[in-house]
Structure 1
Amino acid sequence: MPEALFSLIAATGLLLGSPGPAPLALAASGATFGVRKSTGFLIGILLGLCIAIVGATAGVAALLSAWPEAHFIVQVGGALYIGYIAIKIATAPVLNPGQSAETRVPSLLDGFIFNLLNPKAYAAFFAIFSQFLLPIEGHGPSYLVTGLVCLLVAALVDFLWLCLGGSLRPLFHKPLPARVIRVSFALLMVAAVATVLLR
């Protein structure tokens, strides 16, 4: 059991912590708005991830295999919404040290919809549940505990991405570095989505 748990944690950390749409969006939000103001966005992303976990365990893979056009529609919808968040981050104005950007901060709802439509999250959980399911007696408990471990690892990894972005925040009071970093994060988010769509 400890070996299976370690493998699950490592796989989840690598799959969900690699630079994809959600980690890059969190880093960009942390850098643009700060860690504290981006907490709602983080919580929304984790709530959306819960739906992805439930969706993966409930057999969304089978549904999408039966109706491939549904898979494409979900991917395109997710890509468009992630593009919207990328534009929101890339075009945020440069702030003076005391200025507030409260109205432009991605919200809890933004985070929830973002990860709800994030194809990478579903793909990651299909892989995790097919390869790293914890060997616990009973089908239900095995999926439940595996899902909870994944959620805890995701919360830690996503918080670290948010803090990484937050550490860049001082640069966001200087127009040129602020614009370069925001646009870079936005382009990386779009590239991560394009990679998923083109596979």
Structure 2
Amino acid sequence: MIEAIIALVSATALLLGSPGPAPLALAGTSAAFGIRRGLPFLLGILAGLSVAIVGATVGLAALFQAHPSARLFVQVLGAAYICYVALKIATGPVVDAAENGGRAAPRFMDGFILNLLNPKAYAAFLAVFSQFLLPFPEPTAAFATTAFICLLVAAVVDFAWLCFGGIIGPLFRRPRAARAMRVTFAVAMVAAVLWALVQ
């Protein structure tokens, strides 16, 4: 069981911790607005991830297989929303929002919708549950425990991305560097979306 848990934690950390739309949005948000003001966004992302976990466990794959257009619709909708969040990060204030009355940081609902419509989250959990389901004799216990561990790993990984953004935050006080970093995060988010769509 210990080996199975280690494999599950490692796979989940790698799948969810890679620079996809949610991690890049977290880093960009905390770099621009600070870790504390990025916490509601983080909580929204984790709430959306919880829905993705439930969706993966109750047969979203079966739905997408039966109705391929549903998958395409979710992917396009998710891509559009992630691009919206990227635009919000790229066009935000180049100094701290509290100092200049600039735009507000992304909120809880922004994070929730981002991961709710993030195809990468569903794909990651479909992969995890098909390959790393913990070996409990009772299927309900296996899925519930696997899902709980995945959510804990996601919370740690996403908080690390939030902290990473906070560490590079001082660069955002220099207007030219701030604009370049905002645009870089936004372009990286859009590139991650495009990459996911062509897979």
Shorter-chain TM-score above 0.5: yes
2:91: which partner in 1?
91
Of 101-110 and 18-27, deviating more is 101-110
Q: 1:95: Cα distance to partner?
A: 1.7
Aligned equivalents of 1:112 and 1:147: distance in 2? Answer: 18
Question: Kindly, what percent of the aligned residue pairs are identical?
Answer: 57
Match of 1:18 in 2: 18
Match for residue 162 of structure 1? 162
DSSP 3-state at the match of 1:191: helix
Matches within 5 A, 1:72-111: 72-95=72-95, 99=99, 103-111=103-111
CA distance in 1, matches of 2:98, 2:52: 38
| Separation in 2, partners of 1:121, 1:112 | 12
Q: Shift in Å at residue 60 of structure 1? A: 0.5
Q: Distance in 1 between matches of 2:105 and 2:33?
A: 6
Q: Does the 8 Å CA contact 1:97/1:173 hold for their aligned counterparts?
A: no
Deviation of 1:137 after TM superposition, in Å, equals 2.0
Asked if residue 134 in structure 1 is aligned to residue 134 in structure 2, the reply is yes
**Cα displacement (A) at 1:59:** 0.2
Query: How many angstroms apart in 2 are the aligned matches of 1:93 and 1:35?
Result: 16
Whether the 8 Å CA contact 2:48–2:112 is kept in 1: the answer is yes
Q: Retained in 1: the 8 A contact 2:75–2:119?
A: yes
Q: TM-score, normalised by structure 2?
A: 0.97
Tell me the equivalent position of 2:119: 119
| Contact 1:44-1:111 at 8 Å conserved across structures | yes
Distance of 1:101 and 1:157 partners within structure 2 = 31
Are the aligned partners of 1:41 and 1:108 in contact in 2 as well (CA < 8 Å)? yes
Aligned length: 199
In the other structure, the counterpart of 1:144 is 144
Change (3 A) 1:98 1:144: closer
More displaced 10-residue stretch of structure 1: 33-42 or 89-98? 89-98
Answer yes or no: is the 8 Å Cα contact 2:134–2:143 preserved in 1: yes
1:99 is paired with a residue whose SS is helix
